[in-house]
Amino acid sequence: MQVIELRSDTLTRPTPAMRRAMAEAPVGDDVFGEDPTVNRLEALAAACTGKAAALLVPSGTMGNLVAQLTHCGRGCETILGDQSHVFYYEQGGAAALGGIHPRTIPNRPDGTLDLEALAAAIRPDDVHFPRTRLILLENTHNRCGGAPLTPVYMEAVGRLAKERGLKLHVDGARIFNAAAALGVSVQVLAAPADSISFCLSKGLAAPVGSVLCGSREFIAEARRNRKVLGGGMRQAGVIAAAGIVALTEMVDRLVEDHANARRLADGLAKMAGVTVDPTGVRTNIVYLDVTRPDMDAAALVRRMKKAGVALLAAGPRRLRAVTHYQVSAEEIDAALSAFQRVLAGDA
């Protein structure tokens, strides 16, 4: 049985154009700065985000870690949301490897941090406290339903950071989804940030890689931190080639994934046994809660897998579905049919 894969947009497979580009990519040694395909990707990523320079890294987790290590010293503090990917899913890497202290404040349902709470969390200059150095935002926000953070909000946080002498890093793993949902450019969303990372391997469908963007001085130091983390790659042009195709061919089609996510949410909202708010689906992520008393998230995941649909349990009664390049509208309808059968006890 062919499974409709809705666990994550990380499960996309490279397009035929990506495979050709990877096979034909001119390469060199990237640690020496001599891989022409990596250099081309980094220049393209910098232009897309409106930053002066960029750095290819193997993963989004490494990109966010490199950013924190570059902005902060040991004993410094970052302020970030309690539902953020960096805090929730990146193994406390900044603390473990960089001696950087995380201070969390609650994410609101739309993924934002309350500006007053954010300002209040900034430490005064006191020998008892770590030094606040960095604010970290996530756009789109995964655990807040794939919510896109607006340009107005990004500008407000950027202004606060500058007024208080702090840096702003954006975990923009799905920043191109945010731009597509809001009808603005990535440059507009990234403008207030001192650094931004984004994933090539999610909705943009490349097989591997993320890019960290910022000033030339920031990226020069970030390159050193990438090296010490083991992220310095050699003939990485075979990876970068797919990333170039991702940025030149896969951005405009993200609106299709958003439409499919809303199609899925609209269908689920009509079914007994689960709840979902379709009005909250702005990008390619759908969260749903199981309401049948005799079924939890793990049980529904198992039954749906047998029915040919792969989902991710995100809590005892919560599931996540993510649309992407390799899920068509027809497959969304097939997934809805499978949900109907499973929730009715027919599968």
Indicate whether 22 pLDDT > 70. yes
| Structure token pair of residue 19 | 């495979």
Residue 173 and residue 296 share a domain: no
Indicate whether 234 pLDDT > 80. yes
Residue 257 and residue 136 share a domain: no
Q: What integer pLDDT is reported at residue 329 of this predicted model?
A: 98
pLDDT in tens, 35-77: 999 999 999 999 999 999 999 999 999 999 999 999 999 999 9
Task: Report yes or no: 40 and 245 within 8 Å, Cβ to Cβ.
Answer: no
- For 323-332, what is the mean pLDDT? 97
Q: What's the CA gap between 281 and 149, in Å, rounded?
A: 13
- For 271-283, what is the mean pLDDT? 93
| DSSP 8-state class, residue 201 | S
Name the domain boundary from 228, 249, 270.
Answer: 249
pLDDT in tens, 302-319: 999 999 999 999 999 999
Average pLDDT taken over every residue of the chain: 97
Q: Where are the alpha helices (DSSP H) in 270-328?
A: 297-306
Query: Can you give the CATH number for the domain in which 335 is found?
Result: 3.90.1150.10
Q: Where are the alpha helices (DSSP H) in the chain?
A: 16-24, 36-49, 60-71, 85-89, 93-98, 115-121, 151-163, 175-182, 186-190, 216-228, 237-249, 254-269, 297-306, 329-343
Residue 159 and residue 37 share a domain: yes
Indicate whether 345 pLDDT > 90. no
Count of domains in the chain?
2
Residue 177 and residue 39 share a domain: yes
pLDDT-above-70 percentage for the chain:
99
Query: Can you give the CATH number for the domain in which 48 is found?
Result: 3.40.640.10
Residue 59 and residue 199 share a domain: yes
Q: What integer pLDDT is reported at residue 278 of this predicted model?
A: 86
Q: What integer pLDDT is reported at residue 268 of this predicted model?
A: 97
Residue 301 and residue 157 share a domain: no
pLDDT-above-90 percentage for the chain:
97
Q: How many CA atoms are closer than 13 Å to the CA of 140, on its beta-carbon side? A: 26
pLDDT in tens, 134-152: 999 999 999 999 999 999 9
Q: What integer pLDDT is reported at residue 280 of this predicted model?
A: 87
Indicate whether 246 pLDDT > 80. yes
Q: What integer pLDDT is reported at residue 306 of this predicted model?
A: 96
Residue 326 and residue 179 share a domain: no
Which domain covers residue 263, as residue numbers? 253-343
Indicate whether 347 pLDDT > 70. no
Q: What integer pLDDT is reported at residue 296 of this predicted model?
A: 96
Query: pTM for the complete prediction?
Result: 0.96
Task: Report yes or no: 123 and 158 within 8 Å, Cβ to Cβ.
Answer: no
Indicate whether 1 pLDDT > 80. no
Burial class (CB within 10 angstroms; exposed 0-12, middle 13-18, buried 19+) of 24: exposed
Lowest mean pLDDT among 7-11, 251-255, 275-279: 275-279
4: in domain: no
Indicate whether 189 pLDDT > 90. yes
Residue 266 and residue 235 share a domain: no
